[in-house]
Amino acid sequence: MTTRIPLEDSWSDVIRKARRGLGLSEADLARQCGLQVEPILSLERGSLDPESLAKIALPLKLQPARLLAMSRGEYHPGVLQLPVSGVGGVDMFTSPWNDFEVHSYLAWDARTSVAVAFDTGSDASELLQFLKKNGLKLELILLTHGHGDHVFELDRMVEATGAKAWIGNREHLDGTENFAAGKEFTLGSLRIETRSTWGHASGGISYVIYGLERTVAIVGDALFAGSMGGPMISYEACLATNRKEIFTLPPDTLLCPGHGPLTTVALEAAHNPFFP
Ligand SMILES: [Fe+2]
């Protein structure tokens, strides 16, 4: 993969997510940082005023220098490579969903030619072709969460491959089996650890894959490069589960989000404004 995928969220998306996540109205935030409401509305519309941005960072519990760096376009993780070697690999498949794109991933064990898909995206054609072209048998479909853009092709993938589909037990989805976070899956020589990263979705799961050249974590919408998925269930849980389950992974763990570019634990620990 050599194309540079833009960040999923801009600095103004970040402040909007934080304000809503903290349950603050624009007026509440204005009061807390001694600004009028208008400059806040204008920041959230994407019009940059560094002075006002610096003032709202702390009440939003965002790291000010990182937020400002993001507003100057200074943060992007760059183009990171997924591991592919003689032992197996991981590939990314991107499909359109409304006006954005969603990624699904495939990991395989080269010795046994078995594969596991993480999410389905909106169009599994490329992923299914990849399996065929490389003589891989899909054994598992592991879902990061049940949002439509991540599971749209589930029936088609199960029908085409006979793979067994799983989702965390805080969500229910037809055609899947439930498991409790902590369960481990094995696929050939790959070991897949499951971690509860709920908050964006009620049953959000991150999958950590061991046995390849580099440790890879498929995080769904729990964390994005420079941001994180919208706190649809609980903002506090988004922050807490990411800290507990993702930021404790080894720093060079490659993070594969559902949207936006690949990143690493070290890069997010140094640049993500949500995690000072
Ligand atoms: Fe989602």
Residue 26 Cα to ligand 1 midpoint, Å, equals 25
Residue 259 Cα to ligand 1 midpoint, Å, equals 9
- pTM strictly above 0.75: yes
Same domain? For 60 and 123 the reply is no
Q: In what order do the strands lie in the sheet with 205-210?
A: 184-187, 190-196, 205-210, 216-220, 254-257, 263-264
| Structural domain harbouring 230 | 84-271
Residue 230 Cα to ligand 1 midpoint, Å, equals 8
Domain annotation covers residue 32: yes
Compute how many other C-beta atoms are within 10 angstroms of the C-beta atom of residue 216.
Answer: 26
What's 264's domain CATH number? 3.60.15.10
Rounded to the nearest 5 degrees, what angle is found at the Cα of 208, between the Cα atoms of 203 and 213?
160
Residue 206 Cα to ligand 1 midpoint, Å, equals 12
Structure letter (DSSP) for residue 7: P
Residue 151 Cα to ligand 1 midpoint, Å, equals 10
Same domain? For 20 and 90 the reply is no
- Ramachandran assignment for 78, one of left (phi > 0), alpha (psi -120 to 50 degrees), beta (any other): left
Q: Which residues fall within 8 angstroms of residue 14, CB to CB, at 6 or more apart?
A: 62, 67, 70, 226, 227, 273, 274
Residue 135 Cα to ligand 1 midpoint, Å, equals 31
Residue 244 Cα to ligand 1 midpoint, Å, equals 20
Residue 149 Cα to ligand 1 midpoint, Å, equals 7
Q: CA nearest 219: which of 92, 98, 83?
A: 92
What whole-number distance in Å separates Cα of residue 111 and Cα of residue 55? 55
Residue 232 Cα to ligand 1 midpoint, Å, equals 9
Residue 221 Cα to ligand 1 midpoint, Å, equals 5
pLDDT tens, position by position, for the chain (276 residues)? 578 999 999 999 999 999 999 999 999 999 999 999 999 999 999 999 999 999 999 999 999 999 999 999 999 999 999 999 999 999 999 999 999 999 999 999 999 999 999 999 999 999 999 999 999 999 999 999 999 999 999 999 999 999 999 999 999 999 999 999 999 999 999 999 999 999 999 999 999 999 999 999 999 999 999 999 999 999 999 999 999 999 999 999 999 999 999 999 999 999 999 998
Same domain? For 196 and 100 the reply is yes
Q: Is 232 exposed, middle or buried (0-12, 13-18, 19+ CB in 10 A)?
A: middle
Distances (CA, A) of 239 to 17, 54, 107, 198, 227: 12, 21, 27, 10, 11
- Secondary structure class of 11 (helix, strand, coil): helix
**What pLDDT is recorded for position 90?**
98
Residue 40 Cα to ligand 1 midpoint, Å, equals 26
**What pLDDT is recorded for position 264?**
98
Do the beta carbons of residue 7 and residue 260 sit within 8 Å?
Answer: yes
Q: Which residues fall within 8 angstroms of residue 33, CB to CB, at 6 or more apart?
A: 55, 56, 58, 59
* Total domains present in the chain: 2
**What pLDDT is recorded for position 1?**
57
Residue 265 Cα to ligand 1 midpoint, Å, equals 20
Residues that place a CB less than 5 A from ion ligand 1: 147, 221
- Where does a domain end: 33, 49, 71? 71
Same domain? For 131 and 266 the reply is yes
Same domain? For 239 and 135 the reply is yes
Residue 158 Cα to ligand 1 midpoint, Å, equals 21
